[in-house]
């Protein structure tokens, strides 16, 4: 049987129990000595726990008060007895603020207030706050405060100094150790060591308690020296409809802040998600694309009075030059009728115009433009498609219509402001000139390159300059197709320059003036080399055939191009083409005066005068081949000297109404008059409505028109034109147009 000598003797068991009890006491005393501040006798919960379950302790400065005495509140009967231990200043922990004699920030990490231990509040403490108060570190001696924004915080009756903790004495410990030595449980040397250790721990506990009390006293003194906060007004500024909440718990404030943060984050997330979805659905190149378009439906009535000249007086030279050559021989076996314009039979037409374009931002101040449009043919002056009309192999019987490439260009622009701008455009683009429809049709596009610049030299004064080069006609690469010997090119160009200024005379008056020079290089017809032989069918080609215009309207003077000589001049086949008889070097002067006192209602007057300085009457009368000299039209008789052509033109129009039709019932009206002699300008590029079907030159008359908006993008138009020939056979036409326009 096993036995333990220690427990086999009753005396030894008793001694062992005493040792265990002594060891427990020592451990308890050691644990209590590690606490720098002990709870008060009533064992009230720590202030740190109070802040989690109730109002935040107000840390606003107290009224100045003596270190020991009774502090009374002006708003309550609460008071408290304060008692603080006085210790030397050098015994207090120092921070930077105190060392420099500055008032410390009690909320600054590392300050005295931050370093102090939690405070034990009284069970009768009452905390009253008005408005949200940020949590702040607790101060020793300020556990009970009763205040509002109108008065400083007031201490309670509870003592501000921690209750005295049970002192860590050495008497009981020494007695126990001596008893253990007496019972031979430990040696004397070990006992002396334990006694010294117990004494040291007791001394440390007392020093820590004294330091804490001194620190609290110092912090309280500093707080009392700070000025009290200004009283807040008690009246409710919001009136009876608002309720003032005097206190918002921390947990409520946190919930509000979290909810606001969540709402903002959700909104940002939704917006970002929408942008992300939009960006993911739309390719980047589409975002740089801007689409535009418009559609116009038109009724047009062309009416001719009974007094017009009979058939045979209005030769259609464009039909001849764009088809087979006309046999002009007087001995032709089977004479072919000469194409003629209609000047007697009224016509009603329903017409359509559709244009769809796109502007593309290429970056680095470079843009591109593309537009397609309808058109009965490749007429450069109009994009009208006659519904049911049969031309150029299309139309009629609900046939489909052609769509043409109407614009295609690249543009570089610098500045882009009314005060400073420069641009360079190449391709096929809009009319870059200031002018009227007397010279340039509204739908006309220009092929080539144009440079434009403007710069404000004084307030309201902005000069501008435009210059360009445009290929009007380029010779077929294989000209002439049927000959083994190819002919020289007959390329034609327009070189032009226009300079002017925009002048804002006053707030309501603006003037724009410009002068231009248009040089149509090699646009006139040239007589061919002599043609002295031909086959039985008269199938010949003149080396200048390409000098004839590839498109024309009406009005300009023509000469024959092929120069038949010898037997060919008297033969039955003299196939002939015709070219322009005059050079065209046109000087234009343009002016516009706009009055906008009642903006958006405007009044304006616009005028243009042109003079073809390249016109030479003698050269025209004596021009042409020897076999068929002189002008082929614009004469009163077969005698070339009866030529009645001229080189002057002018147009003026007055406008009233809204400059832009942007709202319902916006309107504007225009009254204009024009006078354009036969060779004042190239008839191929002028207005394609006035004087129908003899559009072009050698016309005079007036136009009345008006527009009425049905919405920002839809408007109605009504126009009446009355035109007469200036010279030659009698001609008069009345034209009525009714339009429904829409843009998108």
- pLDDT band per the 50, 70, 90 thresholds, residue 489: confident
Q: How distant, in Å, are the alpha carbons of 426, 541, 726 from that of 318?
A: 29, 18, 21
In the predicted structure, residue 314 carries a pLDDT above the cut 50: yes
**What are the DSSP calls for 674-725, one per residue?**
EEE-TTSS-GGGS-SSTTTTS-BSSEEEEEEEEEEESSSSEEEEEEEEEEEE
Q: Distance between terminal CA atoms of the chain? A: 114
Task: Please name the helix (run of DSSP H) or strand (run of DSSP E) that holds residue 498, with its range, or none.
Answer: strand 492-504
The Cα–Cα gap between 719 and 87 comes to: 107
Classify residue 667 by burial, with Cβ atoms within 10 Å: 0-12, 13-18, 19+.
middle
**pLDDT tens per residue, range 620-640:** 999 999 989 999 999 998 899
For residues 734 and 272, the model is more confident at: 734
Classify residue 547 by burial, with Cβ atoms within 10 Å: 0-12, 13-18, 19+.
buried
The Cα–Cα gap between 639 and 590 comes to: 37
For position 241, what pLDDT does the model report?
52
Q: How distant, in Å, are the alpha carbons of 288, 454, 455 from that of 415?
A: 20, 10, 10
For position 88, what pLDDT does the model report?
42
- Give the mean model confidence (pLDDT) for residues 262-285: 74
Closest by CA to 466, choosing from 484, 446, 491, is 446
- Give the mean model confidence (pLDDT) for residues 237-254: 60
The Cα–Cα gap between 230 and 152 comes to: 9
The position carrying tokens 């010898």 is 566
**pLDDT tens per residue, range 431-484:** 999 999 999 999 999 999 999 999 999 999 999 999 999 999 999 888 877 777
DSSP 8-state code for residue 660: S
- pLDDT band per the 50, 70, 90 thresholds, residue 21: low
Token pair belonging to 553 = 């309207």
Q: What percent of the chain shows pLDDT beyond 90?
A: 50
Whole-number average pLDDT of the chain: 78
Q: How distant, in Å, are the alpha carbons of 164, 228, 720 from that of 353?
A: 103, 83, 19
For the ranges 89-98, 244-253, 326-335, the maximum mean pLDDT occurs at 326-335
In the predicted structure, residue 32 carries a pLDDT above the cut 70: no
Every domain of the chain and the residues it spans: 10-224, 250-281, 289-743
For position 18, what pLDDT does the model report?
53
What is the CATH code of the structural domain delimited by 289-743?
A: 2.40.160
Cα 38 to chain centroid, rounded: 70
The position carrying tokens 């096929």 is 428
- Give the mean model confidence (pLDDT) for residues 666-682: 98
Closest by CA to 595, choosing from 511, 502, 708, is 511
Closest by CA to 222, choosing from 100, 79, 76, is 100
Q: Is 643 within 8 Å of 652 (Cβ atoms)?
A: no
Q: Which phi and psi (to 5°) does residue 265 adopt?
A: -65, -40
**pLDDT tens per residue, range 44-79:** 333 334 333 343 434 344 344 344 333 344 444 433
In the predicted structure, residue 694 carries a pLDDT above the cut 70: yes
């Amino acid at each position: 049987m096993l036995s333990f000598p220690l427990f086999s003797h009753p005396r030894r068991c008793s001694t062992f129990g005493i040792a265990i009890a002594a060891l427990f006491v020592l451990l308890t005393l050691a644990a209590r000595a590690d606490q720098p501040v002990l709870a008060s006798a009533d064992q009230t919960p720590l202030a740190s726990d109070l802040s989690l379950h109730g109002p935040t302790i107000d840390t606003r400065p107290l009224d100045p008060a003596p270190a020991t005495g009774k502090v009374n509140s002006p708003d309550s009967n609460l008071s408290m007895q304060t008692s603080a231990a006085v210790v030397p200043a050098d015994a207090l922990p120092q921070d930077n603020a105190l060392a420099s004699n500055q008032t410390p920030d009690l909320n600054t990490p590392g300050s005295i207030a931050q370093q102090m231990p939690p405070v034990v509040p009284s069970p009768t403490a009452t905390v009253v706050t008005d408005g949200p108060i940020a949590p702040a570190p607790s101060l020793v001696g300020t556990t009970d405060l009763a205040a509002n924004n109108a008065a400083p915080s007031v201490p309670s009756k509870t003592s501000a100094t921690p209750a005295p903790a049970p002192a860590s004495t050495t008497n009981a410990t020494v007695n126990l150790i001596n008893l253990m030595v007496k019972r031979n449980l430990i040696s004397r040397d070990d006992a002396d060591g334990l006694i010294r250790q117990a004494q040291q721990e007791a001394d440390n506990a007392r020093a820590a308690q004294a330091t804490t009390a001194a620190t609290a006293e110092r912090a309280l003194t500093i707080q009392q020296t700070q000025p009290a906060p200004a009283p807040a007004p008690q009246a409710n500024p919001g009136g009876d409809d608002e309720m003032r909440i005097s206190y918002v718990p921390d947990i409520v404030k946190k919930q509000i802040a979290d909810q606001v943060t969540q709402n903002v984050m959700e909104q940002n997330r939704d917006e970002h998600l929408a942008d992300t979805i939009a960006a993911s659905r739309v390719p980047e190149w589409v975002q740089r694309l801007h689409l535009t378009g418009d559609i116009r439906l038109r009724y047009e009535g062309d009416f001719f009075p009974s007094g017009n000249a009979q058939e045979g007086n209005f030769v259609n030279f464009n039909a001849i030059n764009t088809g087979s050559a006309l046999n002009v021989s007087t001995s032709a076996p089977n004479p072919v009728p000469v194409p003629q314009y209609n000047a007697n039979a009224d016509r009603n037409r329903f017409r359509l115009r559709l244009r769809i374009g796109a502007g593309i931002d290429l970056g680095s101040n470079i843009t591109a433009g593309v537009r397609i449009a309808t058109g009965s043919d490749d007429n450069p002056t109009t994009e009208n498609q006659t519904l049911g009309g049969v031309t150029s192999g299309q139309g009629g019987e609900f046939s489909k219509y052609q769509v043409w490439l109407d614009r295609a260009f690249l543009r570089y622009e610098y500045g882009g402001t009314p005060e400073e701008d420069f641009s360079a455009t190449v391709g096929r683009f809009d009319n870059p000139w200031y002018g009227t429809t007397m010279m340039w049709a509204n739908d006309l596009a220009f092929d080539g390159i144009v440079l434009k610049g403007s710069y404000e030299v004084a307030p309201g004064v902005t000069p501008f300059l435009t210059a360009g080069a445009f290929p009007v006609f380029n010779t077929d690469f294989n000209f002439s197709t049927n000959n083994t010997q190819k002919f020289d090119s007959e390329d034609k160009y327009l070189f032009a320059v226009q300079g002017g200024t925009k002048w804002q005379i006053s707030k309501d008056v603006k003037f724009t003036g410009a002068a231009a020079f248009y040089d149509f290089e090699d646009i006139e017809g040239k007589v061919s080399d002599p043609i002295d032989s031909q086959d039985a069918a008269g199938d010949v080609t003149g080396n200048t055939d390409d000098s004839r215009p590839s498109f024309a309207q009406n009005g300009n003077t023509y000469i024959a191009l092929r120069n038949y000589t010898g037997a060919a001049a008297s033969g039955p086949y003299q196939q002939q083409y015709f070219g322009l008889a005059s050079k065209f070097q046109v000087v234009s002067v343009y002016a516009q005066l706009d009055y906008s006192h009642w903006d958006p209602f405007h009044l304006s007057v616009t005028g243009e005068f042109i003079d073809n300085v390249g016109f030479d009457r003698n050269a025209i009368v004596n021009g042409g081949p020897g076999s068929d000299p002189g002008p082929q039209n614009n004469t009163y008789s077969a005698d070339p000297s009866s030529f009645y052509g001229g080189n002057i033109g002018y147009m003026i129009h007055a406008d009233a109404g809204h400059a832009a039709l942007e709202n319902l019932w916006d309107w504007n009206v225009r009254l204009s008059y024009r006078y354009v002699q036969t060779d004042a300008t190239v008839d191929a590029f002028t207005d394609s409505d006035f004087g129908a079907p003899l559009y072009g030159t050698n016309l005079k008359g007036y136009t009345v028109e008006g527009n009425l908006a049905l919405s920002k993008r839809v408007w109605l138009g009504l126009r009446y034109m009355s035109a007469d020939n200036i010279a030659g056979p009698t001609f008069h036409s009345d034209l009525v147009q009714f339009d429904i326009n829409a843009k998108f």
